[in-house]
Amino acid sequence: MTAMQRRPRRLRTGPAMRRLVREVRPQPAQLVLPVFVREGLTVSRPIDSLPGVSQHALETLPQVIEDAVEAGVGGVMLFAIPETRDATGSQACEPEGILNIAIECAVEAAAGRLVVMADLCLDEFTDHGHCGVLTDDGSVDNDATLELYARMGVAQARAGADVLGLSGMMDGQVAAVRAALDREGFIDTSILAYSAKYASAAYGPFREAVESQLDGDRKTYQMDPANRREGSVEANIDEAEGADFLMVKPALPYLDVLADVAAASAVPVAAYHVSGEYSQIEAAAERGWIDRRAAHVEAVTSIVRAGGDIVLTYAAIEVARWLKEDS
């Protein structure tokens, strides 16, 4: 038998060796926890399709923030569910609207210890469930929606949000919101652009979480899952318009897009391990088919390996604790 000069298994001989040569090391500070706040609740309400995740009341939100801080999580992304909705999502811009009050509550609880992000989109606030206002024929009016996004962005900045998560996929949304923020003096409020957001089948549990009113789909503004290059086109536009972060969503089916965007971007890149991806792990683990902890850590690791600087995941607090234990 001829001698083998290269034996890659030498670097896998035990936990200490594997830890020493590990190429990718996700950190708790890279994680962002999505948080749902529902108007009218006084206690948390579990979400059936998102095991371990709840709609929160304003009264319970500070404890969520404290748990995230204790775990070392880098930020939270706030979503809100109002009691009343209308065609233009007017509650999104009201200073006393549930999302803006939740921002104030989270900022106070965080006290600068983590980054408070807020979802900037109309879908949770409209009675038709679309991410913008509709024309007479039922299509989404891109430019009329931009005016509302600008107002919503200023309202969120006034409430104290550190980062605005522009998730609506309207053309020109970053430029419109950036101009409005700067005009009102909010030059330090950052924009996270959901640049490559695909019309995915994996958003179902999220829609239950926000009690979505959507009838139909969002394929005229969210991206076709078959398109890779278009993700870079969208990201380049958003960066040029002034986005401070870029996003690819969902994460795992689009790691190729994430890698493309990360390779070209001069700003940090985030990826969202979305509700359907999270719930698949939870459902399989509940049946004993997979190791829950290992699966969540592997998912986050793969996202970081592909180029994600920031990972949004519903398992953020647990993953942060696991990463600390494994370090």
DSSP string, 132-172: S-B-TTS-B-HHHHHHHHHHHHHHHHHHT-SEEEE-S--TT
**Residue 172 Cα distances to 149, 187, 258, angstroms:** 10, 18, 21
Residues 6 or more apart in contact with residue 275 via CB below 8 angstroms: 49, 50, 202, 203, 204, 205, 206, 209, 314
Structure tokens at 285: 């683990």
CA angle, 160 as apex, 159 and 163 as ends, to 5°? 115
Structure tokens at 69: 């801080």
DSSP string, 158-226: HHT-SEEEE-S--TTHHHHHHHHHHHTT-TT-EEEEEEEEB--GGGHHHHHHTT----S--TTTSBPTT
Residue 197 is among the residues annotated as catalytic for this protein: yes
Identify the burial level of 284 via C-beta atoms within 10 angstroms of its C-beta, where 0-12 means exposed, 13-18 middle and 19 or more buried. middle
- Helix, strand or coil for residue 6? coil
Active-site residue, selected from the candidate residues 85, 128, 178, 249:
249
Active-site residue, selected from the candidate residues 56, 197, 218, 273:
197
Q: Which residues are catalytic?
A: 197, 249
